[in-house]
Every structure is written in C-alpha cells, then in structure tokens.
C-alpha cells in the first residue's frame, strides 16, 4: 500500500469535515475507485477478495456506530472506501486505532462541553498511528 496516496484523500476530507461537518461523497467514491483501479492493475497487494472484505468490514463496523448515532453517513462511506483500499487484513488494526482515536477525541469534546465532533480527524489520527506501527511511513 502506498500510504501517501491515502493521505491525498484523508487530509482534505479531514479539513472539509472540520469546516463543514460533512464528508464529500466525491472523496469517498474517488478513494473507492482508486482502490478498484490499483487492485485491477495489480499495483498493490490487495486482491479482489481482500478489497471486498475490507469494504464490508469498514461498512459493517462503522455502520453499527452510525446506527447508534456515533458517526455520520459520510464517515461510514469514507471508512468503507478506506477498507477497500487497505484490504481486510490491514483494515482490522486500522479500525482499532481509529476507534481508539475517536474515543479519545470524544472524551476531549465532552471535557470541553461539546456533544458532537467531526470524526474524520479520528480517522486520520488512527490511520497515521496504524501506518506508523507497521512502519509504512518508512518503507514505501
């Protein structure tokens, strides 16, 4: 996985989410399209089954949080596309760090008297921690 390509999607989505509290569908769809293209061209290690598995894991876990009112629909779509790009094996630890980051940011928001927060920063922080833990920022 070329980690910096993910940054091209995560960073603008984070900035937009912080400003508007919305995640543009165009970013999620473009990330999903990118994942499909690089999988089809065999430009990374994620195969079709792993792409589909990562997508389903992403939509399943984030969909459950959406159903409980914890995140928005745009976050669900972005996490599902991220799952497709990462593949099933990499998506599970990434979700762990994303959830941990989301919990920490939620506690910070509660401490500051806020009841809601933009979730893309948690996705960005969690993904960065996951990538650092696996040495992906160092080995391209």
Residue-by-residue DSSP string for 63-125: HHHHHTTSS-HHHHHHHHHHHHHH-HHHHHHHHHHHHHHHHHHHHHHHHTT-S---SHHHHHH
Dist. CA 64–CA 101, nearest whole Å: 17
Kindly report the pTM of this predicted structure.
0.91
Per-residue pLDDT of the chain (140 residues; tens, 9 = 90+): 567 788 899 999 999 999 999 999 999 999 999 999 999 999 988 999 999 999 999 999 999 999 998 899 999 999 999 999 999 999 999 999 999 999 999 999 999 998 888 999 999 999 999 988 877 654 44
Is residue 81 in some structural domain? yes
Contact predicate 87/53, CB 8 Å: yes
Is residue 37 in some structural domain? yes
- Residue holding tokens 């912080």? 18
Is residue 138 in some structural domain? no
Is residue 140 in some structural domain? no
> If you average pLDDT over every residue of the chain, what do you get?
92
Which residue in 124, 60, 129 sits closest to 93, CA to CA? 129
Is residue 84 in some structural domain? yes
What is the total count of domains within the chain? 1
The pLDDT assigned to 140 comes to: 45
The pLDDT assigned to 44 comes to: 86
Distances (CA, A) of 97 to 21, 29, 38, 102, 126: 21, 23, 25, 8, 4
Is residue 38 in some structural domain? yes
Is residue 113 in some structural domain? yes
Domain around 60:
3-133
Is residue 63 in some structural domain? yes
């Amino acid at each position: 996985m070329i980690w910096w390509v993910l940054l091209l999607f995560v960073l603008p989505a984070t900035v937009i989410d912080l400003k508007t509290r919305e995640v543009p569908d165009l970013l999620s769809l473009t990330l999903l399209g990118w994942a499909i293209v690089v999988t089809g061209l065999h430009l990374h290690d994620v195969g079709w089954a792993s792409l589909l598995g990562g997508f389903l894991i992403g939509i399943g876990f984030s969909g459950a949080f959406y159903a409980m009112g914890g995140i928005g629909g745009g976050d669900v779509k972005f996490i599902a596309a991220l799952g497709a790009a990462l593949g099933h094996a990499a998506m599970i630890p990434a979700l762990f760090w994303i959830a941990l980051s989301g919990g920490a940011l939620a506690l910070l928001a509660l401490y500051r008297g806020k009841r809601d927060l933009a979730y893309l920063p948690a996705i960005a922080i969690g993904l960065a921690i996951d990538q650092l833990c696996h040495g992906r920022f160092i080995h391209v």
